[in-house]
Structure 1
């Protein structure tokens, strides 16, 4: 995650992505236009085009050859030899077997195409992903998480299209093409998966405001667009038109020269933005064809004419990457039916044993220690109530607190945009039936959190996780909880951050309030240390009212106290609470 590859446009990735895949280097695409150009999105859009237009034979054949249907070329050849049409509305030839993969695919397409008028666009996209098992098939890919993220991305785009008033599948496909255009002025960034340690790939536009220890600037060998405009507007608002090579209005040539200069200046600014994203190392690919006027040529000439502190390597001077020995292939699984049955029995026994354990939450530990919670009778622990709406599961506290936590779970912490926070706060406040001052409090608390030095430290650490559920068995008790924010220090140790959205009690100091929550934070640390075998170095309580952070003092002692509290809770007559 310390390395970023920046490209001016998605055409610069034509050779980069295959090279990364050949060397098994994990990567993730973090720009909207780049995601639209991936195989998964292209295949899914072809499938949607085939559903929308039965006469689009190119889209139909492309969809049949995609993983969604996995029809091989010989399958398609047999279908054609049997006089099958490339139109799923036509009858299937009688000579084609019932279980023929092409015939089966045609039937599925015909059925969904006939139903699409009763479904929203997002429902059609969701059905394609779910019924064609695209998420499951992605497990066979080298980077399944990237494939999953791309399918979820297009599904989210379909929802956004519907929320914006879009209605038909054809409109969505045209909208998707527009969103994918390299020069479209849309929000470029795609929220990354924060725990995915991989090379980050994005356009220069999406990298604005970001910095990385190592930046590789590639794709500079493409020539600027050579197609001249046919309409330009002067400063006085009058249009100047070009109708042919030598046929144009009098002021067109002057405006064309001005536009070309502005475009060159824009390229220079873009390259400056890319170069200044690097904190420690900047690597610029100057590969280009001889005599081609492109940014790579201009940068190479500028470096040769200046005394810039850089090292220029020819192609044959670039060192070969170190050889990595491939992991030995695992021996074929010789599992028998008896082995499988034994494993199933062991699994069922483990599920019964863990389900019967007394349960305590991190929040409940603090209440037990303070004597404010009367433990009820021992009962098996259960899953959270499935009837609760998604934003309520795992969250306790006040409606304002739940809404604030929900906002901090979804907004981009790296670029805390006020409009994004305001929009998310409005949605979460509505979900909790909050309005007026209460709804405004959600926005205010979320803004305080995103601008706090504690959250900024977590973001700068690069590896951080939000709303992380964790559980572990501690001395015969199942201890669990939701960690608001967790990040990793350079030495590999962990830091727990717990948001506190409730106001202090009358006359209570921040120090006294921190003492109330001391064992709750220590319980999170105990869960992580027992389950991950990693050191939790710090636990920080971030009070958003009155905007102050307090670190737990003597964390090992607090963790030991949590163990003692749990041990006492299992004594006869002192049993912990089950999960509701």
Structure 2
């Protein structure tokens, strides 16, 4: 006989009674190998209960109608009832528990309570109910805001717009309620074009292909035209404006409103819009970094709460394995796991093998092999669910509270999921749904609570009252008066790109471009509002020199393949990443980038790389100046045969009207930071070069020049901020 050191005798006896009926092995079942039998009953090390309260309690929610006659959301109702019940047990009843560490009885605290879920899908309902009651709680391994499906739908849309080569993001956006494309249509698109989903989507809208997608031709056309128009805006308007346009075009918010828990889903989308508006970002990269920072903050706050000894824990049953709590609440025990809706066309079972549905007289039907595979899967899932219920219940140290929805059919109490099994095991099918009952069982007391009236919905927060603005200024106390701030002290962290922009603002050529660079720099480092960008859907066919430069820089990061076809393929992939999607535009981009890379191969720098004893590409660094930190990546760092290190920065710029030496002046602060970072890391002063790829020329930057630029760094920052 197994001995429990966790739970007292009445609760252990209750477990023995329940699970001797629920955990049985049927030797005639094809899934008997997965079934677990309670062969040995447990006995308890601890004999006495800590109080006279029933160790097992059921909170049953009957089917009722609200005051307006509408169907009641019993899950939300259950959440509110549980929150109030927990408050009553802890604060009013002050129920006693056994403290295993101190080996004594003490009143229950909120930190003694755990809510266990089969799945965290609806955990926010319970979080809000606890919050409304003012109860402390922490969700462990739950679905955070950024894991909500509606948030992922929009983030996938952004990824697809900014990188058409991201097939996974594009497929997820197409399959989502934004466009609601079927799995079959996505599969047909993949068969149509195995290289790029975006190209396949465009071809599917052509008259020659519409017949193949006749059932969803209009949906495909709408999706392609919408995505095409949104792509012309990506990078030219803020993320907030782009998302707003996407929501208006797709009617996504209206679709969410019609889904279960629609108000919450809409709220999550509006929250994302608010974050996008607050960020002011125009590029996906910058917005992604912003969201990553928010995610990290959200995670840190959640983890910090885990240290609290007085917070209710919300977690899945799987996460609770090996843990124990004085009061365990098995939440939503009537949660059903029946498979409904359309059947998968193809399924696999370890015992039955592969099985598929077939079409018979225009209908999809399941043959015997398919039904047999389904039965085997269902049998294994039921065995696992019974085992999981045992795990959940036996986490309880002193008390177990189980809640869920019930119905009365033909005079019998019925429920789905775990609660249905428990009603059967406890012989409660003939019980009446009275407000509160206590049954004497052979193992102890069983309490059943059945609320007779629906609690009112959670109140909406009151709007902030408007305050009248008065002309008379009220002087603040001295310690609350605003402090004078030197704007230079706010720039504690700068990027190497921002240092380059600073150099261009001071020394860029021609001189009339310097004010433009200055505004770019200010917006970058201070977060100044950008000039208004009007939305437009005019397609730009010209490929900018900046994009070609980005393609070349990305290609240089890797060892360039000698095979021309392999190099062309690499450049084609880089062109996709830059948003160049049409075959003609990609061919032009590949040709222009290939020409520049051939110049790299023919340059002195390429020879230096071949002779170098060490070659490091895209070297990350952080350089501390004493007043601020500068971080970035060095294009190329090599160690020459002499042992000297060399910093090489590639430029694809066009230069007109001035010498390369004069043009390179604007980049001296940037490469000076590189040199100082390498010097601090390696203990030796590197040689510094700026290589102009278009002209196959390399400009050497003297140590005195870059040191002088670093010495003027603070003054230069001050002059641009002034």
Please classify the TM superposition score into its range, dividing by the shorter chain length: 0.3 to 0.5
Q: TM-score, length-normalised on structure 2?
A: 0.28
Q: Is the strand fraction higher in 1 or 2?
A: 2
Bigger Rg, which one: 2
